[in-house]
Amino acid sequence: MRLLPLLLVAVLLVGCDSGGEGKPAPRPATPRAITKAELGEHLEALQEIADRNGGTRAAGTPGYDASADYVAKRLREARWRVRLQPVRFAYFNLRSASMSLGDRKLREARDFQVLSYSGAGRADGRLRRLGDGCGAAQYSGLGAGDVPLVTRGICFFREKAFNAQKAGARALVVIDDSATRRGVPSGTLAAPGIRIPVVLVADTLVREGAPVRVEVDASSGNRVTHNVIAETPGGKGERVVMAGGHLDSVRGGPGVNDNGSGAAALIEAAKAIGPDPPGSRVRLAFWGAEELGLLGSRHYVRSLDRAERKRISAYINFDMVGSPNAVPEFYADGDAELGRVLRRAAGRPLGGVSVGGASDHASFMAAGVPVNGLYTGANERGPGGRPRDACYHLACDSVERVNRPVLLRMARAGALALKRLSARHK
């Protein structure tokens, strides 16, 4: 899940439908194929893949390729038709990085993080605080020895970096107020083109005027990743019901909740639905390079002609559905009718969250496909005021932290919703 600068706003919504206020939603028939044990097997497998491949399953790495192979094998075992769709993308290779503030040498990942697609180079100077860095005018008067220090603000990191580069800065330091004792979350500039080093630093470490040294050795180049696309061999009519979730992790961690949880739920949905759905065909997708800018899902949608896009009656997104301190939600800013289907399938109240364009559903929404999704939280506040997932985009996003009872509930709700959407087109 790629959170936008705009905070996600959770709104508690009742679990009943219009026309039935005050009546509890009927408890859905649970797909028997989905169990905590089977979901757990997929989570364990993805963790093991990351452990064997440097702690990551990021796009363009052996860890991602092994993840795609694992998913494809499980789907073929469920007797679905499976294909791998190549996706070309710009790969970021960070060879080394160092940073110091005054006499203190900072630790990469724990104290600071290099943004993906950062430029390479070295900068020495003093931190000069400028605001959020979203306006070019903020950088006026920047001295030769100044290294701009900006807050996360409301614009994309790339915009801040471009403004700093244009003003002649030799590096950009962004204050990360989401950093915790577990580390600084990974982030991205979305594409190559920035020539100066750009780093995130924990907010507790920075101060105006502090001497700073930043050195980054990195490069970008073209690589190929793959979307895994699976479809039921059976089905009636021309319409297709789709669901998907990204399979890649961030560079800095194994990504077992973000988004191994969604991948596990989709695999079990395939088993629950089986090769012969009750109505229209069902298609599942496991996207590559979502963490780099929704690249896999955007490529897929662009590869469809107009008639193929119109065949897709719905797209349901599964992204982060097993958060440790979860708040189970659907996309309140998605299609209203699909939201009602998800709420009925859940059988218990779901909250509503506005996710904007923060995940792969946005690629389909832009093409006019009705979308919705399931979500349990990233670093927003959850029960007890604690983050819903304190390891969001960190190395500690590991298998033991996934909330398996919540994942089971969301997986069952998603599978049942897909079966009901399929049955509408018999």
Positions marked catalytic: 290
User: What whole-number distance in Å separates Cα of residue 59 and Cα of residue 92?
Assistant: 10
**SS3 label, residue 374:** strand
The answer to whether residues 372 and 331 touch, using CB atoms and an 8 Å cutoff, is yes
The answer to whether residues 150 and 130 touch, using CB atoms and an 8 Å cutoff, is yes
Where does 234-289 show beta strands of DSSP type E?
Answer: 240-246, 281-287
User: Residue 259, preceding bond cis, omega within 30 degrees?
Assistant: yes
Q: Which of 392, 248, 223, 360 is nearest to 294 (CA)?
A: 360
Give the Å distances, CA to CA, from 285 to 200, 245, 302: 32, 7, 15
User: DSSP alpha helices (H): ranges in 32-130?
Assistant: 36-52, 62-77
Cβ neighbours around 222 below 10 Å, total: 10
Q: Enter the DSSP assignment of 54.
A: T
